[in-house]
Structure formats: C-alpha cells, structure tokens
Structure 1
Amino acid sequence: MPTPHYGQPRYRTIADELRRRIESGVIPPGALLPAESALTAEFRAARGTVRQAIAALREAELVVTDHGRGTYAVSRRNAPGQDGCSQTEMQQRHIAADAELAAIFAVDVGTALLEQQSLTRTNGAVGTVVRTYRLLYTES
C-alpha cells in the first residue's frame, strides 16, 4: 500500500502507518510484524527504508526485535514510561510439542518449540494473553 510523502522522509511515512496498525490493534501486542520483504512490496520501498522505519518504531518502544526470529509489536499504551495502569509482560521458553502442537506443525510429539507469551494487565487484572509457537531449528 503506497502512502503519500507530503515532505516527510519515506521511512517516517512507513513507520507512521505501522504505528497506526499497532495502536489500533490490527497488529496486536506480541504479534510478529510482516517480513521485510513483504513490507518492501507493500510500500514499494527499498529494504533500507523499511529497516529505518522499523528502527524508528523500536526507538518509540512500539516493537522489539528478536534477531533471527523477527520483530514483534508492543502496545504503546503498555510501553515503559507511558502514563496509565496497563503493562505488558513478555516471556519466552523452550517447550516440547504436545499432540495438538505436533499435529499443527506436522512434527513428532516432543519436538522442540519456542513459546512466546505476551500478557497484558490493566489495573492489575489480566486483559489479554497472546501465545505464539515457533519451531526450533537445530543443526544436526
């Protein structure tokens, strides 16, 4: 989706659109942002421009990057230093696939997975829990 420039740098226009998606919940807290290749195609921008946009979001504490795994959204209202009574806790751990997860990933029961959990609390009460799972690729 190309966006108008109107005098501001292209990366800033892309960052503003991604910010809007994160703050509106289109990209929920804990969700993986689209791959750089998908963003370059959507915005018809160079890879470096997309990387600058993501860096701007990281500076604004709207996303966190787990190198080799991707960039994840963090709700601005839950970011450190923001006013309000909400907070987000992010955790990750290695788990063994149970029967349900093994069927989803088409792997054997017991295969190593990475579980990432984003828990949002508002006034101390849990509001949302988002869990994502990824295969751990080990070199043999």
Structure 2
Amino acid sequence: MPTPHYGQPRYRTIADELKRRIEGGTIAPGALLPAESALTAEFRASRGTIRQAIAVLRDAGAVTTEHGRGTYANPHRIIHQSDHSNDLEATQREISADSKLAAIFGVDEGSPLTEHEFVTRKNGRAHKVIRVYQIDRSMT
C-alpha cells in the first residue's frame, strides 16, 4: 500500500494506486479488479471508501462496473505508459464467432462478439499482442 498523501482523501489515494496498477499493466485491460473484500483488507479501508475509489476510476473511464459481475479495467482506453519507449495500443471491433469461439462461449457460429486487441510496443516494435473476446452482454 502506498504512503498516504496528507490532505488528500483516503479514497483518492486508493483510486490513484489502482489507476497506477491499471496503467502499469499490473491489472491488465479487461481484467477483473480484486473483490471489494480483498481491497478492503489490502488497503485497510471500509467498503464505502473502496466504493468511492472505484467511483472515481469509473468517472475517469478507467474501469467499468457490471452489476453482479464485478469491476473491470476498461479495455476501451488507450493507455500510454510514462516510458515513451513502451506503448500500449488498444483497438476494438465487432466480429462473428468462428467454430472455436462459438464452442468456448456456448453460442452459435456467427454470433456477434467484441474483440479487444492490445499491442505492446517496445522502441516502436511489436512486443506482445493480447486479444480478448467478449460476448454481447444482452445475450447472457
């Protein structure tokens, strides 16, 4: 846990730490954030304080909360790390499920999915490519 910043509300300090983890890749784009109970234990804060911190991140567009599912690092943001030799590019597109994706998601071939692609570049060259597929929430 980071050293508290005096004069800054506790929820803001927690939000700043979680944002740092998202931007640094410790919490990957599209990944589920730890549960409220885990965050309350880690930061030794009340649920209300954790919820305020998450609300700050949601307002900033850094996370998305889905009722009953949890809070995810927002895969729609393009995050440029502070070290300019390393960049993370994010794109999103709608695709049709092929046979493999249809089997994984338990849907018919051709069903709509959203593909999120994250390309990490080091010194201008592609270093890592991550693709995340998401089913349309209205279908579940």
TM bracket, shorter-chain basis? 0.5 to 0.7
Letter of the aligned partner of 2:31 in structure 1?
L
1:50 counterpart letter in structure 2: I
- Which runs of 5 or more residues in structure 1 are unaligned? none
Aligned residue in 2 for 1:48: 52
Provide the residue aligned with 1:105 in structure 2.
105
8 Å Cα contact 1:39-1:50 kept in structure 2: no
Mapped contact 1:33–1:72 kept (Cα < 8 A): no
| Whole-angstrom distance in 1 between the partners of 2:121 and 2:90 | 12
Between the aligned partners of 2:47 and 2:3, the Cα distance in structure 1 is 12
Q: What's the Cα RMSD here?
A: 3.6
Say yes or no: does 1:116 pair with 2:136. no
| Residue aligned with 1:90, SS | strand
Match of 2:95 in 1: 95
Structure-2-length-normalised TM-score: 0.65
* Corresponding residue for residue 86 of structure 1: 86
Asked if residue 135 in structure 1 is aligned to residue 135 in structure 2, the reply is yes
Q: Give me the whole-angstrom Cα distance separating, in 1, the residues matched to 2:5 and 2:123.
A: 40
Aligned residues: 126
Q: Measure, in 1, the Cα distance between the counterparts of 2:54 and 2:17.
A: 12
Contact in 2 for aligned 1:119/1:129 (Cα 8 Å):
yes
Report the residue type matching 1:131 in the other structure. Answer: R
**Residue 31 of structure 2 aligns with which residue?**
32
Name the amino acid aligned to 2:39.
E
Deviation at 1:67, TM superposition (A): 8.7
TM-score, with length taken from structure 1: 0.65
Unaligned runs of 5+ in 2: 41-45
